[in-house]
Chains A and B, each alone.
Chain A
């Protein structure tokens, strides 16, 4: 698996560099637009998970690389696990870059004494870091779920076919349930466990709650990726190349 992972990282290296530069710019714009540094690591975390899942799959079909890769001393299992390891690495890279960028901007704005709303929004605040961690972990979960949905499809159908049906899958999985829930009136207090959710959100306002929240979000992300990897392994075993 390690060899497959290193091969994935070699292939993705140049694109990852571009992605870091692009992501830093995008997150800076979002941060300035929203007047909060919170969005910077959150945006990059989510973006890197999605872009790496889709970007790595895009390389598979270039020059029949996907087929040729299986002539190297790698098993299908190595390839699947290497892919997930690369997605996680790149997703976490996004989180690190976003966090460092946000902290750097806060430091610069504070040191330079930038006046006005921007100065106020980006002024260094230790409490901001823990909120940033929770928000980043939440977007980590979003990114991990999206990567977990698309990656098995790429392994089963190949990049071209999977890309054709992905919009349908996304609508079926994410949009339709929200529409149904919204129109059903269940969101007005009818969903079981809403009180529990409200309690959990309140708990997130305490330092201990934040720490627990981060751990839960990371655990959920890991669970989504593990389930997805298990599905991908099954699907890719049977794929005819």
Chain B
């Protein structure tokens, strides 16, 4: 059940390809991280705080040297992205970090100028239109923007230079539900264009349920699952049962013993079911709910195993 990147069949060219990325810090290590993002895909990257999402993203962007493994973004070695030979490849990458990343005295219009200087394919008209649509006043300074408005500005920048690949690290954090809807629509439009893809880390898994094609989860620096989103949300389920039912389910063999994961509550026990429809046929007396990404992550990371 805990599929890894190598198990997933991807179609199209790989825009991100990482194998065995390893990086050691005091108290934390990335441990042989494998990650791929293919053309046309939206990959949701999830995990607890401090699990290694941002570190992985920074390693992919070549912001620090890794201790092992290799990664390529848009066909360029990550380690080359900050060197003269690879820097222009970043023309095709739009990046948004989890907080606004510009000096705070700059005005929205100044940010546009900075991007115009950095990107040869900067689309000033698109930026002006998008900032206006998102309610960003060109004369406002970064300092005066709320977190949500700051994230809108960052997203407007990332979407205005004809990037092929978006790497978004908690980019929808701080946005209100309506703004998130609007941004998700824009991201869908972006990925619908040929040759585009998105890697998106987020704690708001409801966003990922709406947009992602694949979910990759990292925990303590190690990838713990890499699955198509539809497998989680359309096939899997959570059986809400009594403690006594657990043995019955285990004995039935409907869930392979090694993959049986459960989470005890005060009033019962939740059991991860790989095929909720088959389960419902076998155990009509046990309620089985649709699996959410949150449920799956919780059961995988915190659930007990037999």
Residues of A at the B interface (CB closer than 8 Å) are 3, 6-7, 10-11, 14-15, 59, 62-65, 67-68, 70-78, 240-241
**Interface pair A68/B97, CB less than 8 Å apart:** yes
**Interchain nearest-CB distance for A241 vs B (Å):** 5
A68 to B142, CA, bound (A): 15
The answer to whether A10 touches B117 (Cβ under 8 A) is yes
Q: Number of B residues contacting the other chain (C-beta, 8 Å)? A: 35
**Could you list 17 further interchain pairs (A-B, Cβ under 8 angstroms) beyond the known A64-B101, A65-B103, A70-B61?**
A3-B117, A3-B118, A10-B117, A11-B103, A11-B106, A62-B103, A63-B99, A63-B103, A67-B101, A70-B62, A70-B63, A73-B88, A73-B118, A73-B120, A74-B118, A77-B83, A240-B64
How distant is the Cα of A78 from the Cα of B63 in the complex, in angstroms? 15
Indicate whether B114 reaches chain A with its CB closer than 8 angstroms.
yes
B113 within 8 A of A: yes
Those 7 A-B pairs whose CB atoms lie nearest each other, nearest first? A68-B101, A71-B95, A75-B87, A73-B90, A72-B118, A240-B64, A6-B117
**Which chain A residue has the least Cβ–Cβ distance from B100?**
A63
Dominant secondary structure of chain A at its interface with chain B: helix
CB contacts between A and B, total, < 8 Å: 81
B105 at the A interface (CB under 8 A): yes
Interface centre among A71, A75, A78 (most CB of B within 10 A): A71
Interface residue B259 (Cβ < 8 Å from any Cβ of A): no
User: For residue B63, which residue of chain A has the nearest CB?
Assistant: A241
B61 close to A71 (CB less than 8 A): yes
Asked whether any CB of chain A lies closer than 8 Å to the CB of B93, the reply is: yes
Residue numbers in B under 8 Å from A3 (CB-CB): 117-118
CB under 8 Å from chain A, chain B span 54-107: 58, 61-65, 82-84, 86-91, 93, 95, 97, 99-106
Instruction: Give bound CA distance, A78 to B110, whole Å.
Output: 20
